[in-house]
Amino acid sequence: MHGTICMVGLGTMGRPMARRLGSAGCDVTGWDSDAEAREGLALASLEETALGAGTVITMLPDGGSVASVVESLLEQRQDRIFLDCSSIDVATTRRLAGMAAAAGCGFVDAPVSGGPEGARDGTLSFMVGGSHDHVARVRLLLDIMGKRIIHFGKSGSGQAAKACHNMICGITMLGVCEAFALAESLDLDAQKFLELCRGAAAQSWILDNRCPVPGLVPEAPATHGYAPGFSARLMAKDLSLAQEAASTSGQTTPFGDEAARRFARFAASGHGDLDISAIYRAIRSG
């Protein structure tokens, strides 16, 4: 039905997503600007790699990168569908969807939540925007890669939902870090405090998967030197997108604005490639 699928962006999310599709029997090729990342999956160029692909999935760091890929491949064949799983701005998404339609192609925005763990296990959540027909065409692929697929409406609405979702994640991460820093300053046992929060109203995905205190959760990035599941640099970008959306819509989001400033400052101080939970160290030091 989909023919060959080309995954563009083979980083911490794109590569396990491609593997998930491959393990389900899909014919998958891949491309990345990093030659080492694309080894064994790609031909000499993006255009050659994507030539036979009926579906092109993008998992890239910003709107400019996604636009470059779509613009490079748009005239290659008609009836191709672009499935963008990156987190980018709504305006760029809608512009690319319009360009795709004019070229006889489809475009679906489907940013994700769930981190590398979800990409590996096929348990991602997809926030989807696009026409019903185009979403129906990629639904099988989304079902292979994720467990929760929510279609919010027209093009750009998936990105709008992701901006709102990640604003909650950024604010929550700061709250968890501040609470654990305060608990430490009050000489509370961190493991017992985690057990309390997990069984009470403070429970959250962030708490369970991004607990910021090293050693408390074996799988958490904090226990592994804050190696990123989701980097502070990307969180700063997503929070900036949320503030851009808030400004455009006329909505005031003071907590989101503060979270955006905090993560931007943390990333700019040389910690952008660490996990978001590493901001705990900056909060502890004051």
Instruction: Evaluate whether 54 touches 72 at the Cβ level (below 8 Å).
Output: no
Per-residue tens of pLDDT for the chain, all 286 residues: 467 999 999 998 999 999 999 999 999 999 998 888 777 666 668 998 899 899 999 999 999 999 999 999 998 988 899 999 999 999 999 999 999 999 999 999 999 999 899 999 999 999 999 999 999 999 999 999 999 999 999 999 999 999 999 999 999 999 999 999 999 999 999 999 999 999 999 999 999 999 999 999 999 999 999 999 899 999 999 999 999 999 999 999 999 999 999 999 999 999 999 999 999 999 998 7
Backbone angles phi, psi at 160, to 5 degrees: -65, -45
Looking at the DSSP bridge assignments, the partners of residue 156 are none
* Strand residues in 103-231 grouped as ranges (E): 106-109, 112-113, 124-129, 146-153
Instruction: Evaluate whether 85 touches 61 at the Cβ level (below 8 Å).
Output: no
Q: Is 162 a catalytic residue?
A: yes
Instruction: Evaluate whether 52 touches 80 at the Cβ level (below 8 Å).
Output: no
Tell me the three state secondary structure of residue 54: strand
Q: What distance lies between CA 229 and its chain's CA centroid? A: 10
CB atoms < 10 A from the CB of 285, how many?
A: 7
DSSP 88: -
> Given CA atoms 281, 179, 213, 10 in this order, what sign does their dihedral have?
negative
CB atoms < 10 A from the CB of 256, how many?
A: 22
CA nearest to 108, candidates 62, 56, 72: 56
List 154, 162, 192, 237, catalytic entry = 162
Separation of alpha carbons 173 and 31, rounded Å: 32
**Location of structure tokens 């069984």:** 199
Question: ∠ at Cα 158 (153, 161), nearest 5°?
Answer: 105
Separation of alpha carbons 285 and 282, rounded Å: 5
Taking the alpha carbons at both ends of the chain, their separation in whole angstroms is 55
